[in-house]
Each structure stands twice: as structure tokens, then as C-alpha cells.
Amino acid sequence: MSLRIHRSPILHFLSNPTKSDTVASTYQYIEDGGLVVEDGYVVGCLPFTEAQHTYPQAEILQHSNALLMPGFVDTHIHYPQTEMIAAYGEQLLEWLNTYTFPTEQRFTDPEHAQRIAKIFLDELLRAGTTSALVFATVHPTSVDALFTEAAERNLRLIAGKVMMDRHCPDALQDTAQQSYEESKALIARWHNHGRLQYAVTPRFAPTSTRAQLDKAGQLLQEHPSVYLHTHLSENKAEVAWVQSLFPESTGYLDVYDQSNLLGRRSIFAHAIHLEDSEWTRLAETQSGIAFCPTSNLFLGSGLFDLQRANQEDVRVGLGTDIGAGTSFSILETINEAYKVQQLRGDSLSPFHSLYLATLGGAETLDLSEKIGNFETGKEADFIILDRAATPLLDFRLQQCTSLFEELFVFSMLGDDRCIRETWVMGERAHQR
């Protein structure tokens, strides 16, 4: 049995700050806080003196010059693309053909998959990310490799095998029936195995036939608690291609809708170029969006309308979208999200962005009963941010006169250097 009090300034969110007139009621900030963790679960988040009084037998860990927060949630990332991050010069469709498909073919080799899975998970932890929704490749062994390594680290991870039966190299192509059978076997092997869950993962509409999308829908119907993870309306040429491939659909989202792929556990990456009716349909079906600003800027895809998502009550989480995204760091992702919203004429507050990075991501993944903040009973995934990670950050934070300003500075100057420690289910999994 382990009982510990982590002493530090603590910040976590209780609800969406943009949905309340009193922002201060949507988060808890405790200047001298005590996060009490027993056997991997949160049993209290309160002022340190109260924590010490209530749990006199607990071991005390002091975190100095720090900020303790829930671990970050990455709602869209490709682990096989770790080795091709920062590939020059192309937009989505050419980028896929030039860099992505050749790289993903290497995952026919299970040893290669295992090696990349280890590097990938180490990078997540270095970035302070404790949960993620992850694309593997078309090869079932790529999923086995990732889940095996994630289980060893006790991470809460959702992942799935890519389904792709056209418009890709032969070596990456499955068939509708084969993708159904392989996904089904992976669901049986991994879904709800410890902290792991499965996502049915058709890559995107252009690489699946209608028959394959229908098979994806059948998997969701047969396994109602698995996820659906795909891409949607990322790039204008892609949207036009989808329209020509599926003339019977009224739009991109409708292609998925017609195969019954929308719902509370469906997450669509990007969703940049949406029609009004598509916003309505995402809201009606409670589907979620992964906002991936570093990727959207890197591939020149466009500027996501976060304000609209909020107005329409569509849940949004942040995604790095490695390897089109350019950083594993959710802090750097927030930095670019801020700039994307500036270009749209809106200012993304640090309360909103840090909510998106934690509780908002958990809500988008339908996991807020388990992770995302420090309510009693939640799984104790958290990070220790270092206020003096760089001389500039240290200096700049000393000029701050409010929590708002401090958090904004953290999110503009911060990156993996700020992540002093990452804790998973109450155990330290990374230390800088």
C-alpha cells in the first residue's frame, strides 16, 4: 500500500471555463496544495496543512518552484510517424504519398514496431502526456507492439489498426473483410485490458471503400464501448476528392454518417473545412474533434474554428498529430493554438487552453470519469511543471502579477523542458 502527499501549487479544472460567467468557479488553484494519492488513485486535493492533518501517516513529497497539474491528454497522434516528423515541403495528399506511406510500410517488421513504440511512449512521457488516442498502421502487430509497451508503463491509451482498402501502396492495403476480422481480434485481445482501449480506425474516407466503412460501423455496433478514430475535412483538395469519390453523400461528414460512424466515442481529427450542417450533425451525435494546430500550420491545412465548436457545443481536445504535427509537447501545441485563434480574430485564454489540454481532452475521449482532474477517485496521472525550466521562463514568471498571466507565460514559453516529472497511476514514470 502507498499513501503520499505531493506538496506543490496545484491547478486543475472542474469544468469548461468558456461555459461559465464565473471563470474562477471552473478551476481550483491551491497555492500550497497537497495532492493525496493512495495506491494510484486521488483521495484528496486540498490545502497542504489540511492534507497533512487528515493523513498524518502519509509520505510527503515536496515539489519546489513547481506547478502540479493533471497529465496532458493528446486526442490525436500517429505513433508510426515518430520517425518522419518534420518532412519537408508538401501539403496533405502529397505528404502522405511522399513520406507517410513509405514510412508506415516498415511496420511489417514487429521488431521495428516495438522499437518505435518505445521511443514514442518515452516522448509522450517527456512531454507530460499521460493519455492519448493513437493511430497505429494497417499491421495488427503494430497495435500489439504499442499496447504491449503501453501496458508495461501502465498508461491509459486508446489505439487501433488502420483500415485502408484503396488508394495506397499494396503493402499497406487490407480488404473490408480482412480489416473487420483483424480489428475484431484486436478488440478481443486489447479492449479494456487494464487501462487500454480500442479504436476502430479507418484512415480517412479516400482510403476506404463504402464496404470497408460499413464494416467499421458493424464493429461499433457489435462493440458499443470501442472508439471510432479518423480524419475529417483537413485539406481543401482532400474535401473535393471525397466529394468525387462519394457522390451519393451530401458532404464529407455524411460519408461517415451513412456508415453509422458518428457518436459519443467518435473522434474526428482536424474538422477545419466544415459546412453548417456538419457542425449541427457533429453536435447532434455528440461526436468529438481533435484540434491539431501544429499540424494544421505545418501542412498549410487551415485555421480551426474553435469558437464555432464552442458555440455548437461540440467537444474539442488538443492533438499533436505527430508526424504532421511538429512537437510532442502539448504546451507548444497550446502556443500554436493561440496563434491560430489570433489569426481568426479571437484570443484563446490560458484557462481555456489548459482546460482543453486536460479535462477537455478527457471529456472529448469520454474518459472524464477516470482522468482529467483531481476529483476524488480519479486515476492519479499528473505532471510537475518546473517554473525555472529555462532562465527566460524563470525571469519572465517573476514579472507576473496574476495566475492568468503566469499560465499564459507558461503556455507561450513552455515545452518539454518544463516537464520536470510525469507520474502515471501514482508512480513516477519520467524525471528530467
Site string for ligand GUN, 1-40 (x = CB under 6 A): ----------------------------------------
Taking CB under 6 A as the rule, does residue 203 contact ligand GUN? yes
- What does residue 388 show for φ and ψ, rounded to 5 degrees? -115, 35
| Residue selected from 144, 321, 366, 386 as contacting ligand GUN according to rule CB under 6 A | 321
203 binds, options ligand GUN, Zn ion, none, Cβ within 5 to 8 A by partner type: ligand GUN
Hunting for cell 483521495 — which residue is that?
Answer: 43
| Residue selected from 107, 204, 227, 291 as contacting ligand GUN according to rule CB under 6 A | 204
| Residue selected from 63, 78, 167, 229 as contacting ligand GUN according to rule CB under 6 A | 78
- Binding part of the chain for ligand GUN, among 92-100, 310-318, 333-341, 419-427 by CB under 6 A, reads 92-100
337 binds, options Zn ion, ligand GUN, none, Cβ within 5 to 8 A by partner type: none
68 binds, options ligand GUN, Zn ion, none, Cβ within 5 to 8 A by partner type: none
| Residue selected from 174, 321, 366, 421 as contacting Zn ion according to rule CB under 5 A | 321
Nearer to Zn ion, 282 or 292 (CB): 292
Task: Provide the 10 A C-beta neighbour count for residue 2.
Answer: 11
Taking CB under 6 A as the rule, does residue 422 contact ligand GUN? no
- Binding part of the chain for Zn ion, among 7-15, 282-290, 321-329, 345-353 by CB under 5 A, reads 321-329
Indicate left, alpha or beta for 421 from its phi (over 0: left) and psi (-120 to 50: alpha): beta
Ranked by CB distance to Zn ion, the top (closest) residue is: 321
Q: How far is the CB of 359 from ligand GUN (least distance, A)?
A: 25
**Binding region for ligand GUN (CB under 6 A):** 78, 92, 96, 100, 203-204, 231, 234, 295, 321, 324
**Binding region for Zn ion (CB under 5 A):** 269, 321
